Amino acid sequence: MSPEIAVHLGMATDFNVSVKDMLDKYFSNLRIVTLPELSSATAGESLIMYASEVRGMPTGELAFSEKIRAGRVVPDLSSFAQKFTSTTYGFIMYVPFAFAQLSGI
């Protein structure tokens, strides 16, 4: 969740219990992570929820073709140059129903 929304988890209810305490009590496997990237001035705050595994199988993974490849060293008049290349596929989602996104909170 965005940092702006995470602040609200610390607020106490009328019974002097914080929302975070209630979530920890009822959902023991819940992990809350704040990401500044989920905050937007135009679209509002966002929240992403997902199950990391369903029936023992992972719901997705970050993938890449190879981590990094170093090119050959090219000598110049008074220096050397070398290129480094890498690629990524991004995130591969195996179980789409295990992900939910809320925008404009």
Residue 36 is predicted with a pLDDT of 87
pLDDT at site 85: 87
Q: Tokens for 61?
A: 């993974």
- Which residue stretches of the chain have pLDDT < 70? none
Q: How far apart are CA 47 and CA 103, in angstroms?
A: 7
Beta pairing, strands 80-81 & 74-75: antiparallel
Q: Report residue 8 as tokens.
A: 């609200």
| Model confidence pLDDT, tens digit, residues 52-82 | 889 999 999 888 777 788 899 999 999 999 9
- Residue spans per domain, the chain: 3-103
What is Dmax (Cα atoms) for the chain?
75
- Is pTM beyond 0.85? Reply is no
H/E run at residue 31: none
The DSSP element (H or E) to which 91 belongs, if any, is: strand 90-93
